[in-house]
Structure 1
Amino acid sequence: MVEARTAATEDSVDIVARLKLRMIEHALPLWSGEGWDSTSGGFVDRLDRDGRADRLAPRRVFVQARQIYCFAKAAQMGWYPQGREIALKGLDHLLTKAKAPDGRPGFVHMLTPDGAVLDPLRDSYDHAFVLFALATVYTLDRDAQVRAEIDALLSFLDAHLRSPHGGVLEGLPASLPRRQNPQMHLFEAMIAVFDATHEAVFQNRAGDFFALFLANLYDKQKHVLGEYFEDDWSKIEPVSVEPGHQAEWIWLLKGFERITGCPTGRPRAELLGSALRYRDAATGCLVDEGDTEGNIRRHTRRLWPQSEMAKAWIAQAEAGEAGAADEARAALARLERHYLSHPVPGGWYDQFDRDGNSLVATIPASSFYHVLCAVAEAEQVLG
């Protein structure tokens, strides 16, 4: 046991530098090369197990936005100077193909590989990531056209997706159940837009989602975040708990505290204590789903909750919590060991069963956002 603990400690010592190098030397070149469709434009949705682009897979709009974020963020961090050009190329494709191609406002949900509309749904989750991508691109040049796109998207949200019960509807057309997930990512996007513009209106917009979190999404007695709700935000029983989202909110709450000064230490600590109940005994990784009593419902474990757990600990380290920096490095080491050590350099495994068998044969582009964001946060806070 002592030897295992020592090995794990050694594994995590240089983890931030190793992961940064992995992003720069492998992930960013892979997803800007094989991950970009040079014929039809746009980012591919996934690679096969050998790292070749699946050019026949539909293109989810939120994935296009996430990839734009990744390259803009890499350029902003000074990791990948060519990331700016790639992000702008991706944004141009997104605006040309996905924004109101059918004459109705908003972004469509899914495109065919050649850029035609596959699903015209206006999905709130997608719009959150488009806004997040626009905010990150705006930090690079403060381009007036990008700012105009931010304002146009916000006007669309206000006019078409705002719910009378708080937050946003699932999309157009509206559907049930309500999910906390789009609300969470719009909270993230509003924090990002404030960081890009420093305009108080975005503090207020973020504050609306923080208020929704406190009033409806978060169970203050059981210290868990619900996933699915009725139209008026009443709970749908039995309540589903996704530990990865609990971890993600910890990081976001710290971001909200940073831009507003509003204290969030208590819910962050409560969410962290709850999230840690849902861990796989063999690996220490977060599982995919539990119940409100701390029991595991699904023993599968995806990649993204592990990056969010690392970001949660990074947020606590930034807040000065004792031991949080070491926990953050250990979480990043688990991410590297179990998910990023893929035969394709710059690729990853997406999900395992409880016995450690890989459940997803492809390498989904959607995971890049989670990994790169965690590594960027780690470098900024942990050094």
Structure 2
Amino acid sequence: MRKAERGPAALARARDGFRAWLFDAAFPFWNANGFGASLPDGSRPAAEQITLDGATFFPGYTRIRVQARQLFVYAIAAEHGVPGAAGAAEGIFRFMLRHGRASDGHWIRRTMPDGRPVDETADLYDIAFVLFALAHHARVFRDPRPLREAERTLDFLRREMTHPGGGFHHALPVEPGWRLQNPHMHLLEAALALFEASGDARWAELARELVGLFHDRFFDAESGTLAEHFSETLHRAGGIDGDLVEPGHQMEWIWLLDRGQTLLGDPLADRGIRALDRIRDGHGVGRETGLMRDAIGRDGRLLRGSSRLWPQGELLRAGCVLHRRAENAAEAGSAADTVLDAAGNLLDRFLVGPKSTTLPPGTWIDQLDAFGRPAIRMIPASSFYHIVTAWIELEAFQPQAQPTLTGF
């Protein structure tokens, strides 16, 4: 989006464009093409990917994380009256319950599209998204079943996956390698959603624990960077693995710390959000493109010049948070510019509209290379979650809430 395009008219165009793409193109396309065959038990798996010519694709399996992300997407679609969305959500929910759930309370990593198990590992990242999806299914459909499943899963996490060094194992059976920040971040997202849906204090307790890990372990205040890889005792990894920074994750944590403070209170949230935001004006966003980069080093040097879709959505969400929390007109204006730039980049460079002659309208380009060219072989269904969460924030964005903001 050009820098000159500011103000209420630009915001209205961004909202209208995003809404039209989502409801007129994306939901109809994925309703028609984003599912495997219905199974005899009434369940129906969401597709892993779409080919570049628009065909449903499973790479020999489906991951429970993709089923969970798509359950969230279709719950939100049903909440906004999309035809067929409620039935689609129920089909995915049945597939998860009947084929992704293990008898001891965890959720298996992969199944075949017909439901046969492929990998029965308990993966914390996958489980986090299952919990997140259960929260939204319960909230939208006022269905008690997902909350019961979530409670059962929490019991498993506490009993089997708690790590003596803090936090949780990222997989069970335990897998070699560094411990990971990312699954804990999404587990916080799920815990906040479940607390909001249920009011159960156990989810608030879990959320507070995970926020504490952010402040005490995951974030390095000196460099202003969030680490991805850690030792058994959650000290930052050494070498190149410890140097890796994914700016998009810092934007996600901005949103999560803000949400956690709103729901639970967190006296350190203000400091954490301001420290995380340093990367937005530093090396995390390309000055010439406005695109959030995939990976940089702790010192700001570029590690990967590519830009995936999902960090742009997280940049938009963080911009909305930063605008709400702005202490003066200059901060509010900078955050509003971030929102408009991120929305413009998504609409212009990632989300495929009706004028495309190469990809089906309602799909997306998941990654651009360092030169801004599409770098894709498939269209991953997993990105839909990031698109929908960004749209939710864009719809609620109200720059007029800052009366001293110029340009709006």
Query: TM (normalized to structure 2)?
Result: 0.88
Matching residue of 2:213: 212
2:252 maps to 1:248: yes
* Structure 1 residue ranges, 4+ long, deviating more than 4 angstroms after superposition: 7-13
> Residue type matched to 1:5 in 2?
K
Matching residue of 1:379: 395
Q: Is the 8 A contact 1:11 1:333 kept in 2?
A: no
Q: Is the 8 A contact 2:105 2:153 kept in 1?
A: no
CA distance in structure 1 between the aligned counterparts of 2:83 and 2:238, rounded to whole angstroms: 48
- Deviation (angstroms), 1:5: 2.7
> Residue type matched to 2:350 in 1?
Y
CA distance in structure 1 between the aligned counterparts of 2:343 and 2:209, rounded to whole angstroms: 32
2:291 maps to 1:291: no
For structure 1, list consecutive stretches of 5 or more residues without a partner in the other structure: none
Residue pairs, 1:274-313, within 5 angstroms: 274-276=279-281, 277-313=283-319
* Helix, strand or coil at the partner of 1:113: coil
Stretch deviating more after TM superposition (240-249 or 5-14) = 5-14
Q: Is the 8 A contact 2:6 2:337 kept in 1?
A: no
> Residue type matched to 1:270 in 2?
A
Q: Deviations over 1:227-260 (max 9, x none)?
A: 0011110111232100010111011111101101
CA distance in structure 2 between the aligned counterparts of 1:361 and 1:97, rounded to whole angstroms: 28
Residue pairs, 1:1-383, within 5 angstroms: 4-7=2-5, 12-40=11-39, 41-76=44-79, 78-80=80-82, 82-100=84-102, 103-175=103-175, 176-238=177-239, 239-263=243-267, 264-276=269-281, 277-320=283-326, 322-323=332-333, 324-341=335-352, 343-382=359-398
> Residue type matched to 1:20 in 2?
R
> Residue type matched to 1:322 in 2?
A
CA distance in structure 1 between the aligned counterparts of 2:180 and 2:361, rounded to whole angstroms: 35
CA distance in structure 2 between the aligned counterparts of 1:214 and 1:375, rounded to whole angstroms: 28
CA distance in structure 1 between the aligned counterparts of 2:100 and 2:201, rounded to whole angstroms: 29
Q: Is the 8 A contact 2:254 2:321 kept in 1?
A: yes
For structure 2, list consecutive stretches of 5 or more residues without a partner in the other structure: 354-358, 400-408
CA distance in structure 2 between the aligned counterparts of 1:163 and 1:196, rounded to whole angstroms: 27
Q: Deviations over 1:339-367 (max 9, x none)?
A: 11353111000112111222212110000
Q: Is the 8 A contact 1:44 1:57 kept in 2?
A: no
Q: Is the 8 A contact 2:131 2:150 kept in 1?
A: yes
CA distance in structure 2 between the aligned counterparts of 1:22 and 1:195, rounded to whole angstroms: 29
Matching residue of 2:402: none
CA distance in structure 2 between the aligned counterparts of 1:170 and 1:373, rounded to whole angstroms: 24
Q: Deviations over 1:112-167 (max 9, x none)?
A: 22221111211000000000000000102332222211111111111111112221
CA distance in structure 1 between the aligned counterparts of 2:304 and 2:56, rounded to whole angstroms: 30
- Deviation (angstroms), 1:11: 5.6
Q: Is the 8 A contact 2:105 2:155 kept in 1?
A: no
Stretch deviating more after TM superposition (272-281 or 331-340) = 272-281
Q: 1:4 to 1:16 in 2, by over 3 A?
A: closer
CA distance in structure 1 between the aligned counterparts of 2:238 and 2:58, rounded to whole angstroms: 40
> Residue type matched to 1:6 in 2?
A
- Deviation (angstroms), 1:13: 4.4
CA distance in structure 2 between the aligned counterparts of 1:104 and 1:193, rounded to whole angstroms: 21
- Deviation (angstroms), 1:14: 1.6
Give RMSD over aligned pairs.
1.9
* Helix, strand or coil at the partner of 1:165: coil
- Deviation (angstroms), 1:104: 4.8
Q: Work out the percentage of aligned pairs sharing the same amino acid.
A: 32
Q: Is the 8 A contact 1:45 1:57 kept in 2?
A: no
- Deviation (angstroms), 1:275: 3.7
* Helix, strand or coil at the partner of 1:120: strand
CA distance in structure 2 between the aligned counterparts of 1:56 and 1:223, rounded to whole angstroms: 39
> Residue type matched to 2:273 in 1?
R
Query: TM (normalized to structure 1)?
Result: 0.93
CA distance in structure 2 between the aligned counterparts of 1:114 and 1:174, rounded to whole angstroms: 27
Q: Deviations over 1:181-201 (max 9, x none)?
A: 000000000110011112333
* Helix, strand or coil at the partner of 2:196: helix
Q: Deviations over 1:283-335 (max 9, x none)?
A: 21011111111111111111111100111101112324512233212211111
